[in-house]
Amino acid sequence: MERYVVRTDTLVSKPVSREEAIERVKSYAKQGVSAYIVSEDEAKRIRESDTGFNKPSWE
């Protein structure tokens, strides 16, 4: 089963299921907090990378 990590500006969750990640992002959105879902592998790459996390831009 693939696992996902939820990222905000201040925290990184432990790996969770897809459904749990979606629920957490929805909960953060209700609180006005931006959150992103990334795969467990991508979260590992971000932690090990010098460039860090590139926030998606829709503009």
Whole-number average pLDDT of the chain: 87
- Domain-by-domain residue ranges, the chain? 4-47
Binning pLDDT at 50, 70 and 90, where does residue 50 land?
A: low
> Model pTM?
0.74
- Structure tokens of 32? 């006005």
Calculate the CA dihedral of residues 8, 11, 17, 23 and round it to 10 degrees.
Answer: -50
Residue with the bigger pLDDT between 51 and 7: it is: 7
At position 13, the amino acid (one-letter code) is S
Scan for tokens 């959150």, then name that residue: 35
